[in-house]
Structure 1
Amino acid sequence: MDSSPETQPLPPPPPEPPREPILNLPAALAAYVALLAVIHLRVLLPPDIEYWTIEVFGFIPKRYDATLLATPFAGGSGAKVWSFVTYSLLHANLSHIIFNVLWLLPFGSAVARRFGATRFFLFMAVTAIGGALAHLVTHEHEIAPMIGASASVSGAMAAAIRFAFARGSFLSLRSGDADAAARVPAQPLIRALRDPRVLAFLAIWFGINIIFGVGSIAVGNEGASVAWQAHIGGFFAGLLLFSLFDPVPRSAQTSAHN
């Protein structure tokens, strides 16, 4: 009698590894970018109304002129307060907003993961204020409104370099997953400023801003110009105020070297 070998069941196929999205953005950053995009739809308004939004929500140094020649602007006294932040949510054109978002994606992602939504939004507001203050000091009596998120983007870049080059972080050579890389202990400021990689980053960043002057745009009767001083104000605000927002405790080794 013929015998046949028992049929062995085939093993199940191995599960497919989960596919990572191309842009794995934290929710806070995605919401921030979406907010910028929705607000930019104001360019579809009639030109006179569209410019009215710039005058009300843009940052105008002349608005704070206390002399007898002070110029009244739309928005009244309230605009003197909210425009320190709201200017950073407006952009002149599509290329302006795309440029800022492209710079924000790598650095803002790390900062948003590290800070969480509430701290991230507050941090972006504070760095916008830092940029506005720097612009006000260097452009006293100027009537052209300043708009653009570049001061906040610069602040996010400054915050990122406080932990970006630490071992295991997102710019180190031994980085892990994005969430873990964004939570490595930050370097003390003095120690970070001694890191050759941080110094090289600072040299490149300041060189780009001063030589090429890209980023925030001032829109007004005098045409478009670059508000690079606001970038520097936002950058220093992010660099110096980072520790006030950072929820990640420093390691014992880091504290010992502080």
Structure 2
Amino acid sequence: MKPFKYLPKALQTLLLANAVVFIIAFLGRGLEVDLGAGYGSLTDYINYYGAFMPRVPLELWRYVTYMFIHFDFMHFFFNMLMLWMFGSEVAEWMGSRHFVSMYFFCGIFAALFSFFMCILGLTNNPIIGASGALMGVFVAYYKFFPDRVILMFFVIPMRIKNAMWVMIALDILFANSGDMIAHFAHLGGVVAGFLYMAIYQNGPKVLYHSPLSAIFRLFSGNPEKYNRDRSSGSRSSSRRSDEPEILEGEVFYVDEQKRMDEILKKVEREGLQSLSESERDFLLKAGDKLRRRRGGF
């Protein structure tokens, strides 16, 4: 796990927002407030107005607020631990804009999925917690790093491409067990994660005219990427005017530091996958130069 200060800012914000709500709910247990239908603690107030209630689907704010509510410490701790561990690399790989977009899309979709399960009579329980959105992060991690080995249940070594399906199977198996875990929200987050990643990785080849493409145009630094066929928007084989000039294996710029800052900002916005081959080469060579200057290896 990376130290907090080195995490992408989007991930820092999500972790802090969850922590603030948890602390307020924890400290508010002894603070009495008017709930409208009677008096209760501030914690009750947060639950009463913030949790997602499948029976009141038109209270739209709940589709977002429920993701930030945790009352039990272990629920909060493990959700944030997983978000920290897996979200760090996912946010760096796809960029903060897409990470935030995917996170909220998966969380909202998870609530909608639970609502449809409620219509079918399979669940009617209030939902709180970041698990639905977190399952979308797991899907992205599975897509980016399928052969990474994780400790399933902190004990069993397993490749993420296998662990992902074990988690899905467990949610299906225990969906109606009455264990007070929002398994349907988890499954909704998984479906949303696969949907988002399909469009992210394949562009307009999947759901070309889908309303979801509007989300990609909004959060992408290159909106046209999701408005046209990828083949027509692919990189030209010829060198662009803004690409580096390579002379005898070295990269030369008038202001290398400025160029590096521009590339790093692009990574923050759009992720590592957005870099051209020349930009990747420049970062590698610049890193080597810095290490040589500092006497590193």
The letter of the residue matching 2:92 is R
Residue 88 (structure 1) shift: 0.6
Asked whether 1:52 is paired with 2:14, we answer no
Aligned to 1:136: 115
CA contact 2:172–2:183 (8 Å) conserved in 1: yes
1:41 and 1:163, CA in 2 relative to 1: closer, same or farther beyond 3 A?
same
For the 8 Å contact 2:142–2:164, the answer to whether it is kept is no
TM-score, normalised to structure 1's length?
Answer: 0.61
Q: Which among 187, 192, 196 is matched to residue 232 of structure 1?
A: 187
What residue is the counterpart of 2:131 in the other structure? 150
- Following TM superposition, by how much is the alpha carbon of 1:228 offset from its aligned partner in structure 2, in angstroms? 0.4
Q: Distance in 1 between matches of 2:82 and 2:44?
A: 26
Q: Structure 2 vs 1, CA of residues 90 and 109 (structure 1 numbering), >3 Å: closer, same or farther?
A: same
Quick one: structure 1 residues 144 and 228, their matched pair in 2 at CA, closer, same or farther if it must change by over 3 Å?
A: closer
Q: Who is 2:167 aligned against?
A: 205
Which is richer in strand?
Answer: 2
Aligned to 1:39: 21
Letter paired with 1:203: W
Distance in 1, Cα, partners of 2:170 & 2:7? 26
Name stretches of at least 5 consecutive residues in structure 1 with no aligned partner: 1-19, 65-76, 173-195, 214-222, 253-258
Structure 1 position 92 matched with structure 2 position 85? no
Quote the Cα distance in structure 2 between the aligned partners of 1:164 and 1:119: 17
- Answer 1 or 2: higher relative contact order, Cα 8 Å, separation at least 6: 1
CA contact (8 A) 1:123 1:245 kept: no
2:214 maps to which residue?
A: none
- Specify which structure has the higher proportion of helix: 2
Shift of 1:105: 2.1
Q: How many residues of Structure 1 are paired with residues of Structure 2 in the alignment? A: 183
SS in 1 for 2:56: helix
Larger radius of gyration: 1
Structure 1 residues 250 and 204: CA distance shift in structure 2, 3 A: farther
Equivalent residues in 2 for 1:215-230, closer than 5 Å: 225-230=180-185
Any stretches of 5+ residues in structure 2 without a counterpart? 32-39, 150-157, 202-269, 278-297
Distance change in 2, residues 1:164/1:227 (3 Å): same
Rounded to whole Å, the distance in 2 between the matches of 1:249 and 1:105 is 23
